[in-house]
Chains A and B, each alone.
Chain A
Amino acid sequence: MGKGVDENNPVPANGGPSTITLEDVRLSYLAVAGRDEVHVLGGISLDVRPGSFVCLIGTSGCGKSTLLSLIAGYIAPTAGRVLIDGQVVKGPASDRIMVFQHPTLFPWCTAAENVGFGLRLRVHKARSGNAEATIDTLLNLVGLKGFGDRYPFELSGGMRQRVEIARALAVRPRVLLMDEPFGALDALSRLSMQREMLRIWEDTGKTVVFVTHDIEEAVVLGDTVVVLSQRPATVKEVLDVALPRPRLREDPKVVALARHIATLLEASF
């Protein structure tokens, strides 16, 4: 389970993990001027406890990535509010870092330089202390000890995604927003990255919002699985997964939950 912040935490957040609150969040836009509005999100309310691992699941195109962009502050809702620890989100900030399906590593930076990128920015410089030590700790945390001097093109897809996660953790975010982060990986890397992700989460105690369209992934990872309906997305059901970790896909309780979610998703077609 996520333990929150403790002394052994290699990358403590500033003031601990955040609470995320969505209050009747709606989003619509005009795809083509003069045409009808497209309703992407149709009133979503949600409370994410600090330090919890929440999976958002829905069919593709249902607006789950859009919801993540709203929490990240990349876009603003048409109606409703997004709150982080009671503060309305006004734009992107490094207390919430997004990890995308396709890593966005800087190709001219080595793995270590990528991880250190945020630490060398003005906003983080003052409190980043010994950057080299932090980078080492993070590379160890994501299982890339000894790969610090490799360039992204020399790393596999899974390794790049690990660097991406380490780079995000370096700026000590209070929330990790993950948009199908393992969607582009092969099946084996995907399983090992899911295990790694749980370990990293348990070690760091961040609040994680994890978007996926893989039902089993959601059940294996999440404290909570939020099932979204078809567009315009609404919350169909919030499931608390009260199963001990590590969870196996073959576990009958996991299978039963997954089947329940599959039924919910199919019903929304």
Chain B
Amino acid sequence: MGRGLLRKVVSPAGVLVLWELSSRRGWVDPLFLPAPTSVFLEIWRLAVGGSLFVDITASLRRVVMGFLIAVAVSVVIGGLMARSRIADDLFDPLVELIRPVSPLAMFPLALLWFGIGDASKVFLIALACSFPVILNTYAGVRSIDPALILAARSLGATPWEIFGRVALRASLPQIFTGVRLAWGIALIVIIASEMIGSVSGLGYMVLTAQQTFRVERVFAGIIIIGVLGFISDQALRMLQRRLLPWHRDHRG
């Protein structure tokens, strides 16, 4: 273990110790700032009681469904927009009009249409995740070396084969950038929308904890949300390395 690592651990550890002390010693009201140890104890209790698992799976189920729908549809739409003038003219105005609207502004509408269950969140996440994937796919396909398209065509590829085997494959690194952006957005949207209208999920858990003044549970929820975000982004990075071994040289 080098000095570098030691230095990196010092500040978070210091914050934790200070936090623990100020709560235990009563420097701040533990009702508003429960000690880290009681927060971790709360996480443990939630995990053992089983409700943590229920809330995590509820949130993840919605996020993954909305996210997957968005990626599948947006890659095709973004790619078509880049390769076809007609598709560009058809989709671009819609994309540019809906994109600036905050997805949360549309949540009341989603509730009205799809109810308080999963569907309203899936809809909203799918919508919010679409734009970064569409825009990045579009940019990726647009920046392909035309010589590659020509080469594929002269080998006998049909326009659809060129689309699937060349255009989308060549743009995978940029598509992945969009996918990772979309995942980050999905995590924000799910928590917020579960706070506004839901009866399960991590956002719901944190909000009800706040309303019932169980502050250590609020902290527990925040920490779990952070850890989930961190782990899932690492997983996406790993997937990226696995799927794009040829791109290693550009990544440096």
Residues of chain A touching chain B, judged by Cβ–Cβ distance below 8 Å, are 72, 74, 92-94, 96-98, 100, 102, 104, 106-109, 117-118, 121-124, 151-153, 167-168, 171
Contact = CB atoms under 8 A, between A and B. Distances in A.
Q: Which 7 pairs show the lowest CB-CB distances between chains A and B?
A: A94-B156, A118-B155, A104-B151, A123-B156, A104-B147, A151-B246, A153-B249
Interface string B138-181: 00000001011011111111100100011001101000000000
Contacts of A98: 154
A244 B245 CA distance: 46
Given A94-B154, A107-B246, A100 B147 contact: yes
A7 to B, nearest CB: 26
A147 to B, nearest CB: 15
B157 to A, nearest CB: 5
Contacts of A168: 155
A52 B24 CA distance: 91
Contacts, number: 61
Instruction: Select the residue from B145, B156, B170, B247 with max chain A CB neighbours within 10 A.
Output: B156
B244 interface: yes
Contacts of B156: 93-94, 118, 121, 123-124, 171
A97 B152 CA distance: 10
Nearest to B166: A106
Contacts of A124: 156
B155 A121 contact: yes
Contact of A92 (B153, B170, B247, B249): B153
Interface in B196-252: 244-247, 249
Contacts of A96: 154
A109 to B, nearest CB: 8
B170 to A, nearest CB: 7
Nearest to B145: A104
Nearest to A102: B147
A72 B156 CA distance: 12
Contact of A108 (B153, B154, B158, B169): B169
28 contacts: A74-B150, A92-B154, A94-B155, A96-B154, A97-B154, A97-B155, A102-B147, A104-B145, A104-B147, A104-B148, A104-B150, A104-B151, A106-B166, A107-B170, A108-B169, A108-B170, A108-B172, A108-B246, A108-B247, A121-B158, A121-B161, A121-B165, A122-B158, A122-B161, A123-B158, A152-B246, A153-B246, A167-B155
A45 B165 CA distance: 38
Contacts of A123: 156, 158
B167 to A, nearest CB: 11
Nearest to A164: B151
Nearest to B155: A118
A117 B147 contact: no
A123 B153 CA distance: 11
A167 B154 CA distance: 11
Nearest to A98: B154
Given A92-B154, A118-B156, A171-B156, A106 B170 contact: yes
B158 to A, nearest CB: 6
Given A104-B147, A107-B170, A72 B154 contact: yes
A107 B170 CA distance: 8
Contacts of A107: 170, 246-247
